Structure 1
Amino acid sequence: MEETMNNVRSQKSEVRSQKNTSSVFCHLTSGFTLIELLIVISIIAILAATIIPNFIGFDTEARLTATKTNLDTLRTRVTLFRAKEGRYPASLQELLDTYYLDVGVKKPYLNKFPLEMISKKSGNNEFIDISSSEEPITREGGWAYYTDTADVHVNLDEPLGRIWGEYEGQKPIDW
């Protein structure tokens, strides 16, 4: 009987040691090692360092393109006003307030003022009406409308900085 008890005890201790060994083994094989984590982080950092600089210039390029397109829109609307009304608008406000007949439908020359996107990221649709002999620049952005020449410009005369890429050094008022 004692021998049977010893056999049972030894079997229990073997089972315990197997359980302990297997649980330790499981903990050692699950998860990632520090080296694996460092390698993955390094790869992600290298990818980020090569890809992110390619996207940085998109914001400024989009803002420049939008501003130039909006400037062309304003100039086109002033020309359309001249063609329909027989005179140039006395103010840019007339483009919002005056309606013309287009295939029997009354339409304003502009529904809203387009945004100048250089002075502010959110855009600036303010404008000033001036004569070409006056000092127009407020350096606050928006649009400048020369009433005597019927020309629209961006109301900024400071050269653009380095972030504007190929437009660096250009003055938006000269566009």
Structure 2
Amino acid sequence: MWHNRGRRAFTVLELIIVLTVLGMLAGLATSTHKNTARKSRETVLRHNLAQIRLTLDQYNVDKGRYPDSLQSLVDEGYLRDFPVDPITRSADTWEEVLESEYSDEDSSYEPGVFDVRSGSDERALDGTFYYEW
């Protein structure tokens, strides 16, 4: 005959409680990590937008007009390469915003790119759309 004197074992109920708590902690860690990664991508997007806009303004100061396209910034040496949109994970999804057409008689004026937006239609953590930034 075998006796379990002096030995303490976990009951099934205790094991279920421990596994439930561990599962909840793992779920919390996963959602926290997901939001942290997304917040990091949003920070990079804000930085990239600010840098591109500063470069567009510098181009305008130097040349007296805005560039015909964003690619002109790379072609003319204002940027080494065009940054990747961290939300869409592509450098090809940026949306160019052209200057408003002038209302004067000069129909030969070609509006240039004076702003840029993300090509993503997703919402940010603050509820706004990335393309509104």
SS of residue matched to 1:144 = strand
How far apart are residue 46 of structure 1 and its match? 3.1
- TM-score where L is the length of structure 1: 0.52
- Distance in 2 separating the partners of 1:52 and 1:171: 23
Q: For 2:50, what is the secondary structure of its paired residue?
A: helix
Tell me the equivalent position of 2:80: 111
Residues 8-44 of structure 1: per-residue CA shift (max 9 Å, x gap): xxxxxxxxxxxxx7xx669xx5986645543432331
Q: Does 1:38 align with 2:38?
A: no
Q: Which has the higher contact order (CA 8 A, sep 6+)?
A: 2
RMSD: 3.3
* Match for residue 167 of structure 1 among 110, 123, 127: 127
Q: Could you say which structure has the higher strand fraction?
A: 1
Closer, same or farther in 2 for the Cα pair 1:80/1:68, shift >3 Å? same
Task: From the superposition, tell whether residues 125 and 157 of structure 1 become closer, same or farther in structure 2 (CA, over 3 Å).
Answer: closer
Larger gyration radius, structure 1 or structure 2: 1
Q: How many residues align?
A: 121
Runs of at least 4 residues of structure 1 off by over 6 A? Answer: none
| Residue of structure 2 equivalent to 1:150 | 113
SS at match of 1:166: coil
User: Percent identical across equivalent pairs?
Assistant: 23
Unpaired runs of 5+ residues, structure 1, are 1-20, 99-107, 127-140
User: How is 1:4-153 mapped onto 2 (pairs within 5 angstroms)?
Assistant: 34-35=12-13, 37-98=15-76, 108-118=77-87, 120=88, 123-126=89-92, 141-146=93-98, 148-153=111-116
Tell me, in whole angstroms, the C-alpha distance in 2 between the residues paired with 1:53 and 1:30: 36
Unaligned stretches of 5+ residues in structure 2: 100-110
The one-letter code sitting in structure 2 at the alignment partner of 1:166 is D
CA distance in 2, matches of 1:97, 1:34: 68
Letter aligned with residue 43 of structure 1: V
Q: Which of the two has greater helix per residue?
A: 1
* Cα distance in 1 for residues equivalent to 2:78 and 2:47: 16
